[in-house]
A and B are shown apart, each in its own frame.
Chain A
Amino acid sequence: MTATRERDTDVEELERVTIRFAGDSGDGMQLTGTQFTRTAAVFGNDISTFPDFPAEIRAPAGSLPGVSGFQISFSSTDIHTPGDEPDVLVAMNPAALKTNIGDLPAGGALIVNSDAFTQQNLNKAAFTSNPLTDGSLKAFTVFEVPISTLNERSLDGLDMTSKQKDLTKNFFALGLMFWLYERSMDPTLHWIDQKFSARPVIADANKRALKAGYAFGETTEAFHTHYRVRPAKLDAGTYRNITGNEATALGFLAASKLAGRQLFYGSYPITPASDILHQLSGYKSFGVKTFQAEDEIAAIGAAIGASYGGALGLTASSGPGIALKSEAMGLAVMVELPLIVIDVQRAGPSTGMPTKNEQADLLQVMFGRNADSPIPIVAPATPGECFDYAIEACRLALKYMTPVAFMSDAFLATGSEPWRIPAVADLPDISVVNATDASSFRPYLRDPHTLARPWAVPGTPGLEHRIGGLEKADVTGNVSYDPDNHHRMQQLRAAKVAGIADDIPPLEVFGPEQGELLILGWGSTYGAIRSAVERLTADGKSDAHAHLRHLNPFPKNTETVLRRYRRVLIPEVNLGQLLMLVRAKYLIDAVGYDRVRGKPFRIAEIVAEADRILGATAGGSVASELGAAQP
């Protein structure tokens, strides 16, 4: 307890807290969440966040579809997910309460802006009675705070309209949460000064709102306790908070420097990939060229054109855009040029739920082209890993002269975590050399080890040659309809991609090296699976976790690893796509666990499924059925 406090409150020390801010999409909930995240990150907590917002920019105020949420989990220990359920729900209006209260466990804290519970807003949220008075919230610890009124009062005398004043109420809520969790306001005060330097009145209002919220927490009798979450014991190093899209953009920027190639980024705006374009367009002083194309096809076409010219060509989209790029991806396979295709997946099919998460494009990216048309696939598991796998994708594209798919998703893209910043000197050299020797040059003469063809860029004297989508004769690259040549070329293209398995790290296992159950995952399910296995281990179970970062080809030891376990469980945010690949490739009777709710997995769901499967195994029938698959 600090001496400066005006009244005594109890301080309770917690290991981990999960807060969800929920309000109208115009209420600034994403900003509120982001500011809390920055503060917690700089304080030294481990953090994990989950922004969850509607596709509509401004749905009608107070309506159920307009609710925007931001969940942050911060901890004094290592955490992998933004938390299954919030400990604290901040609901700025009835609609936010209605759409989020189902996730708040009994006994959870609920802070509501009571001013917003007007009859009109209750009607919009389809409440037939006021939940603040009808007893329906009695399972929770409810704090009714007239946030709008208190906030407006704190802005007395400022030259602003009532409406403008009301827009700052999210900072009041943030200030209150800062007090509740012993956070410094300084990072946010500093941010406000910078953000609104040209509009001093707005800056002043936001700062007053923030401080008023903090002061309210300090002086009100309502809160008897405030909470302390100490810094986490992270590995030594310098950290920053980073989202997957930020790490992706930084990773490709770094890759272009490591390759010594100009970065060319062709893109068409699409949720949730657009932020990569925004970020890369700010790297002009690095020579990065960004191109907002007329459509998805032009975006990839331009990237291929740039790669043909010797640059590092990059394009990004989400599922619907990847569908449009398919034909050009096939062209890149045929002409064997380096190219990166980023797929920031979202819920589908068709337009689906553009801002919601899913990892259901795996088979599309794997097979979604005419003919056998293999493309290596990498998939980062955490926001920070997007940096490493951007570099890895470029390494493979350049070394093997091939398009490479980089699969992220909405959860990785917008979620954040503390990221240990690497030293530039420690990053790998991924540079490759262009062909220059006219006497030995043949457009499709392959490197005997990698099977890559030479990269002969326009401007190189004596290497004038023609490439294209028509089948190529082996070695010469001339147009060929020869049946045996086509068969050979199809095999060569497949062998080139398959051979990458010799050049990637083996699949690692967390937990016992062999045993009853291995949970296999890919992409953003990492955090939930790892946390589930940690929880199972703490409960005395011996389940294991393996996570694929290379999905084509798989690491060489994948089959060996999978066969060491009696059962293999593959949780996916799709209807069983990795499951299909694993079963088809290895004839292993893996089972899937699918949740496609537009949200990441909950830890508890995976724990329950693992227990359910092992329960079945313990019964004996499944074990004997699997007897043949034992090592």
Chain B
Amino acid sequence: MTDANVNATNGNGSTPGSVPLSPENAQVIALTRKDFVSDQEVRWCPGCGDYSILAQTQKVMPDFGFPRENIVFISGIGCSGRLPYYMNTYGFHTIHGRAPTLATGLKAARPDLMVWVITGDGDALSIGGNHVIHSMRRNVDINLVMFNNRIYGLTKGQASPTSEFGKRTKSTPAGTVDTPIQPLTVALAAEASFVARSVDTHTEHLQQTLERAGYHRGSAFIEVLQNCNIFNDGAWRDFTDREVREDRMLVLEHGKPMIFGKDRDKGIRLVGLHPEVVTIGENGITEADLLVHDETAEEPYLALILSRMFWPDFPVPVGVFRAVPRPTHDKLIEDQLAAAVAKSGPGDLAAVINGGETWTVE
């Protein structure tokens, strides 16, 4: 009771120590994928892209070197919202759109935890859009994984905020009249310090992307293009299928020129403010003319341009768009508390209660 900073988990001294995020720790703790599989039966539709996302998530978890009890998965509502039940960590399946708010409070109270937010395109960009924006601009140290299948699956097939303009769904029989949102443009505009995209079926790339996000300190927004084989089958097939993906997707690599294509002969250059697809060797174009990816750029101009590039006009960029260091929300809060203690000493309850003008009645 006399401590200045009462720990959140007081009660019986079970305060968890802060464990550094490192591959060295991973060896010490020596967990495997199986340690992250819960005893709950997975209940997504057979063939759903969510299975792969769950598997890749479980696969990368041991790499962070975090004890299982220090990892929390928080989700909202939608098919994606069920993922925490299947992770053998702490988990909280909250209400529609609000997962980032619970994650913000949890991380602020407990900076020692690794917090993942699992959400979907409707959960994150429709009902919960405000919270996504604000958790990103605050640089809350969370990894927000947004499953984007461009449809409302759990409610059986209505248009979502990422559904293409004119899409016919149960709720939009004549085609939706709403312009879709580009999730990564939103994340960048909201000042997310880590922004990335991957694909459910590109398992290795997805693992790498999740791993990068996990190591990032600050707000990470990861869009995973995910297939809903019941209500929106083949949503991304045109560019993600094995046969076409090399020609229709651009794998971003920091410091490398933007080259794509089976024959590695296509590239992206900038004309004015507009990107353009060019062929290396044609019209005198060389590698030197191409845009070079810089995920660490202070201003996200390049990342914003990349976030607007989409099939069929452009190859779809995947990988890390942006990864910049920025003080995290929880750290900034802790620093203010420490500064207050340094300035005036630990808080004294009796002194505060007796503060201001007092008088005594005998």
Contacts and interface: CB of A to CB of B under 8 A. Distances in A.
B67 A461 contact: yes
A460 B14 contact: yes
Contact of A304 (B91, B105, B340, B358): B105
Interface stretch (A94-102, A119-127, A231-239): A231-239
B8 interface: yes
Nearest to B12: A433
B134 interface: yes
B112 A459 contact: yes
Given A234-B361, A253-B352, A305 B346 contact: no
Contacts of A283: 347, 352
Given A264-B108, A305-B106, A468-B93, A457 B9 contact: yes
A418 to B, nearest CB: 8
Contact of B89 (A291, A293, A431, A464): A464
Interface string A490-511: 0000000000000000000000
Contacts of B291: none
A177 interface: no
A289 B7 CA distance: 12
Contacts of A423: 350
Given A287-B337, A331-B95, A458-B72, A305 B102 contact: yes
Nearest to A479: B85
Interface stretch (A307-315, A537-545, A584-592): A307-315
A262 B109 contact: yes
Interface string B124-136: 0000001101100
A190 to B, nearest CB: 9
Contacts of A307: 105
Nearest to B68: A464
Contacts of B92: 305, 308, 335, 466-468
A302 B101 contact: yes
A278 interface: no
Interface in B249-276: none
Contacts of B38: 466
Contacts of B16: 458-460
B106 A306 contact: yes
Given A455-B11, A459-B15, A466-B85, A295 B130 contact: yes
B113 interface: yes
A221 B362 CA distance: 39
A470 B93 contact: yes
A291 B104 contact: yes
B16 to A, nearest CB: 3
Contact of B93 (A253, A304, A467): A467
B84 interface: yes
B88 A457 contact: no
A417 to B, nearest CB: 14
A528 interface: no
Contact of B7 (A235, A237, A262, A305): A262
B312 interface: no
A260 interface: yes
A433 B10 CA distance: 8
A450 to B, nearest CB: 16
Interface residues on B, range: 35 or more
Contact of B110 (A258, A459, A468): A459
B101 A293 contact: yes
A266 interface: yes
A302 B102 contact: yes
Interface in B326-340: 333, 336-337, 339-340
A313 B105 contact: yes
Given A238-B354, A461-B67, A464-B68, A289 B109 contact: yes
Contacts of B94: 301, 304, 331, 468-469
A434 B12 contact: yes
B238 interface: no
B90 A465 contact: yes
Contacts of A187: 357
Interface string A274-286: 0000000001111
A240 to B, nearest CB: 5
B230 to A, nearest CB: 21
Interface residues on A, range: 35 or more
A424 interface: yes
A460 B343 CA distance: 33
Contacts of B3: 287
Contacts of A469: 93-95
Given A283-B347, A460-B69, A311 B359 contact: no
B358 A240 contact: yes
Contacts of B88: 464
A308 B336 CA distance: 23
A501 to B, nearest CB: 26
Given A285-B344, A309-B8, A309-B113, A421 B104 contact: no
B10 A310 contact: yes
B155 interface: no
A479 B107 CA distance: 25
Contact of A298 (B8, B101, B333, B336): B101
Contacts of B14: 434, 436, 457, 459-460
A363 interface: no
A239 B360 CA distance: 6
A297 B11 contact: no
B11 A433 contact: yes
Contacts of A457: 8-9, 14
Contacts of B85: 466, 468, 479
B357 A240 contact: yes
Contacts of A286: 4-6, 346-347, 349, 352
Contact of A459 (B12, B113, B356): B113
B3 to A, nearest CB: 8
Contacts of A479: 40, 85
A301 B98 contact: yes
Contacts of B349: 253-254, 257, 286, 424
B1 interface: yes
Interface stretch (A37-45, A65-73, A212-220): A37-45
A291 B104 CA distance: 9
B101 A301 contact: yes
A14 interface: no
A298 B130 contact: yes
Given A256-B6, A301-B101, A436-B14, A310 B95 contact: no
A106 interface: no
A298 B91 CA distance: 19
The winner among B67, B69, B87, B345 for most chain A CB atoms within 10 A is B69
A365 interface: no
B91 A309 contact: no
Interface in A218-273: 231, 233-241, 250, 253-254, 256-258, 260-262, 264, 266
B136 to A, nearest CB: 11
A238 B130 contact: no
B341 interface: yes
Contacts of B361: 44, 231, 233-239
8 contacts: A241-B357, A291-B104, A304-B94, A305-B101, A311-B110, A460-B16, A466-B38, A466-B93
The 4 A-B pairs of least Cβ separation, nearest first, read A301-B101, A468-B93, A305-B105, A302-B105
Given A286-B346, A304-B102, A328-B98, 7 more contacts: A42-B357, A241-B356, A257-B1, A260-B11, A287-B5, A291-B108, A423-B350
Interface of A: 38, 41-44, 187, 231, 233-241, 250, 253-254, 256-258, 260-262, 264, 266, 283-289, 291, 293-295, 297-311, 313, 327-328, 331, 335, 421-424, 431-434, 436, 455, 457-470, 478-479
